């Protein structure tokens, strides 16, 4: 495997020597003479060779991204434009994960009783550093659903308390709010976020209009999953805090997709899924809770006595797949090797590559804002007169493009989600399909 990857990178290098500058050329010679180096090392050198190019410029460099693509095993049956549910792992992370499975299986209970907890703590520390929060405010969960439902279900609700959310929020959280409404008499106030806002103020005012003196919690998506719309979270937090309301952010699609730090958002709670944009194996997420709120959340599963502000009391999981936790470190290494800025710039470029070609066509309905600060990889497109489900089916049957249909909450179209390995040539097939179907 290592050798194959090395050959892949070497081939790329050999093919492109003629367009390299002197510095790059010398570095590439170093790599070519190394022999069978581990793939991580080959990838690191490959990225290093391009480190003098700005993320924005590199975003359009198909040779560079072609090298990244070679690190993935992609199913040839279809063009995958549905990387929103789950982002597959590059082979490098996958191989590390498989090794963790082997190691834990080899050691058995010995592993579980000796270094299991210490290792998970290390993962938390590494994650917290990259997420931008103190390690004692973050726990590893299974996913966003668990993270956010721990908060929705754990708040000491009283009859008549109010919560604010949007109809474009994720179904599982909306269902959890319905549950606490039935159980504790919480009143849920639901706003509808426009697909094409004229300003941040319009969004902030929308959420502000739903707040009353009974509001306890406001839930907001960092990135709306059905449209890819990035919301002005910091401004919403500032507004809500000025009214004494806490903010819980659904960051399922934002972490390791757009480059941000939790410390800049100043939210009270943040949940995300690491099997999405960080490409951790399935079943990993995190929950951030601001220190001062930890004592006020009821744990879902009882933990032994802890200090009141010890976040671990919210994290009693029982025995779980610890090898997934271990792979978080490998996925973080991969992400940092690619570089958050480079990744965001590439994803942004890919979305603009196709949306710019179809946005003005009369039969096309784009459900994602045009303002570049309000979206990244994900965009949603509909075709006048074609139901989203039929569009998704035609794209798959006729053009071998895999997407997902969205038909609700004011959004009617297919969600299109490229990943770093997606090529403009694949997006050309999609653009042609959209033009043909008009
Ligand atoms: C906005 C949003 N929130 C939450 C979730 C739930 O994620 P998970 O199933 O990983 O818990 C998703 C899943 O796609 C999502 O898009």
Confirm if 268 and 274 have CB atoms less than 8 A apart: no
Average pLDDT over residues 376-386: 98
Scan for tokens 């990857």, then name that residue. 5
Confirm if 249 and 267 have CB atoms less than 8 A apart: yes
| C-beta of 273 in contact with ligand 1 (< 6 A) | yes
E-strand ranges in 360-410 read 364-366, 379-383, 401-402, 404-408
| C-beta of 417 in contact with ligand 1 (< 6 A) | no
| C-beta of 252 in contact with ligand 1 (< 6 A) | yes
Counting beta carbons within 10 angstroms of the beta carbon of residue 2, is it exposed (0 to 12), middle (13 to 18) or buried (19 or more)?
A: middle
| C-beta of 93 in contact with ligand 1 (< 6 A) | no
Q: In terms of Cα–Cα distance, which of 286, 254, 247, 251 is closest to 268?
A: 247
Q: Is pLDDT of 21 > 70?
A: no
pLDDT in tens, 203-253: 999 999 999 999 999 999 999 999 999 999 999 999 999 999 999 999 999
| Residue closest by Cα to atom 14 of ligand 1 | 85
| Residue closest by Cα to atom 7 of ligand 1 | 144
**Average pLDDT for the chain:** 92
Atom of ligand 1 minimally distant from the CA of 146: 11
Q: Is pLDDT of 9 > 70?
A: no
pLDDT in tens, 35-82: 333 466 789 999 999 999 999 999 999 999 999 999 999 999 999 999
Q: Is pLDDT of 345 > 90?
A: yes
How does DSSP classify residue 308? T
Helix (H, G, I), strand (E, B) or coil at 357: helix
Residue 120 Cα to ligand 1 midpoint, Å, equals: 23
Atom of ligand 1 minimally distant from the CA of 275: 10
| C-beta of 221 in contact with ligand 1 (< 6 A) | yes
- CA–CA dist 181, 339 (Å, integer): 42
Average pLDDT over residues 23-41: 40
pLDDT in tens, 243-300: 999 999 999 999 999 999 999 999 999 999 999 999 999 999 999 999 999 999 999 9
Helix (H, G, I), strand (E, B) or coil at 162: strand
Q: Is pLDDT of 371 > 50?
A: yes
Q: In terms of Cα–Cα distance, which of 284, 266, 264 is closest to 274?
A: 284
Atom of ligand 1 minimally distant from the CA of 144: 11
Q: Is pLDDT of 24 > 90?
A: no
- The predicted structure's pLDDT at residue 39: 64
Scan for tokens 């709306």, then name that residue. 224
Beta bridge partners of 230: 223
Cβ partners under 8 Å of residue 417, min gap 6: 81, 82, 83, 84, 228, 377, 378
């Amino acid at each position: 495997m290592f050798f194959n990857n090395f050959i892949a990178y070497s081939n790329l290098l050999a093919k492109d020597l003629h367009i390299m500058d002197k510095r790059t050329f010398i570095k590439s010679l170093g790599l070519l003479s190394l022999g069978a180096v581990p793939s991580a090392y080959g990838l690191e050198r490959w990225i290093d060779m391009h480190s003098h190019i700005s993320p924005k410029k590199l975003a359009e460099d198909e040779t560079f991204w072609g090298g990244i693509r070679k690190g993935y095993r992609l199913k040839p049956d279809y063009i995958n434009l549905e990387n929103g549910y789950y982002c597959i792992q590059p082979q490098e992370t996958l191989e590390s994960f498989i090794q963790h499975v082997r190691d834990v299986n080899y050691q058995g209970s010995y592993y579980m009783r000796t270094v299991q907890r210490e290792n998970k703590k290390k993962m938390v520390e590494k994650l917290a550093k990259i997420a931008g929060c103190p390690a004692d405010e973050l726990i590893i969960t299974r996913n966003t659903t668990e993270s956010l439902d721990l908060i929705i279900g754990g708040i000491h609700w009283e009859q008549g308390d109010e919560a604010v959310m949007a109809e474009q929020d994720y179904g599982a959280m909306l269902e959890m709010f319905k549950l606490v409404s039935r159980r504790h008499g919480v009143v849920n106030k639901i706003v509808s976020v426009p697909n094409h806002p004229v300003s941040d103020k319009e969004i902030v005012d929308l959420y502000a209009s739903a707040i009353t003196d009974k509001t306890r919690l406001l839930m907001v998506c960092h990135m709306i999953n059905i449209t890819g719309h990035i919301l002005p979270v910091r401004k919403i937090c500032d507004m809500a805090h000025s009214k004494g309301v806490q903010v819980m952010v659904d960051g399922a699609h934002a972490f390791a997709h757009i480059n941000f730090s939790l410390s800049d958002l100043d939210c009270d709670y943040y949940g995300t899924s690491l099997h999405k944009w960080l490409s951790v194996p399935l079943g990993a997420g995190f929950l951030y809770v601001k220190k001062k709120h930890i004592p006020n959340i009821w744990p879902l599963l009882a933990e032994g006595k802890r200090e009141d502000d010890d976040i671990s009391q919210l994290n009693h999981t029982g025995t779980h797949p610890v090898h997934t936790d271990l792979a978080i470190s490998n996925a973080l290494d991969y992400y940092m090797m690619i570089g958050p800025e480079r990744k965001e710039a590439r994803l942004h470029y890919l979305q603009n590559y196709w949306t710019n070609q179809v946005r003005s066509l009369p039969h096309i309905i784009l459900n994602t804002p045009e303002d570049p600060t309000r979206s990244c990889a994900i965009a949603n497109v509909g075709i006048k007169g074609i139901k989203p489900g039929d569009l998704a089916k035609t794209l798959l049957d006729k053009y071998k493009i895999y997407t997902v249909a969205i038909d609700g909450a004011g959004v009617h179209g297919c969600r299109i989600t490229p990943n770093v390995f997606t090529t403009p040539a694949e997006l050309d097939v999609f653009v042609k399909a959209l033009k043909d179907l008009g």
